[in-house]
Amino acid sequence: MLVVASQAGGSWAWAAFVNRCTHARWPLDRFDGQVLFDDTGALMCAAHFAVFDPLTGQCLGGPGNGRPLTNVPVGEDGEWLVIGPVPDGVPP
Ligand code: FES
């Protein structure tokens, strides 16, 4: 799972995705766990550089086949961030 935090105007927004790219289903992060973002702040797959919106998971370009990442629900419970569950039928 990949969790992304974005800050705009002093507040935080959170998103979580199954860590599988829509191109060739490789993990989005690099082998060392680093997550890449392009100059616009878009999330970039480390394998072949498909580009995704970091908060919605929509494919913005590259070889992601126009398909969005699989979202995982994120909510807040007091001071806690609650993530999940992963949608049924999604491979690990
Ligand atoms: S697996 Fe992500 S761009 Fe190819």
pLDDT band at 92 (very low <50, low <70, confident <90, very high): low
Q: Is residue 76 part of a domain?
A: yes
Q: Look up the pTM and report it.
A: 0.89
Q: Is residue 7 part of a domain?
A: yes
Overall domain count for the chain: 1
Pocket test for ligand 1, best of 18, 23, 67 (most atoms within 8 A of CB): 23
Contacts of 47 (CB under 8 A, 6+ apart): 21, 23, 24, 26, 27, 28
Q: Is residue 31 part of a domain?
A: yes
| Residue 41 structural domain | 2-83
Residue 18 CA, ligand 1 centroid: distance in Å = 14
CATH code of the domain containing 71:
2.102.10.10
DSSP secondary structure letter of residue 5: E
Q: Extract the tokens encoding 65.
A: 């086949």
DSSP secondary structure letter of residue 27: -
Instruction: Give the pLDDT confidence of 49-90 residue by residue, as tens digits.
Output: 999 999 999 999 999 889 999 999 999 899 999 999 988 887
Instruction: Look at residue 91 in the predicted model and tell me its pLDDT.
Output: 67
Q: Is residue 75 part of a domain?
A: yes
Instruction: Give the pLDDT confidence of 4-51 residue by residue, as tens digits.
Output: 888 878 888 899 999 999 999 999 999 999 999 999 999 999 999 999
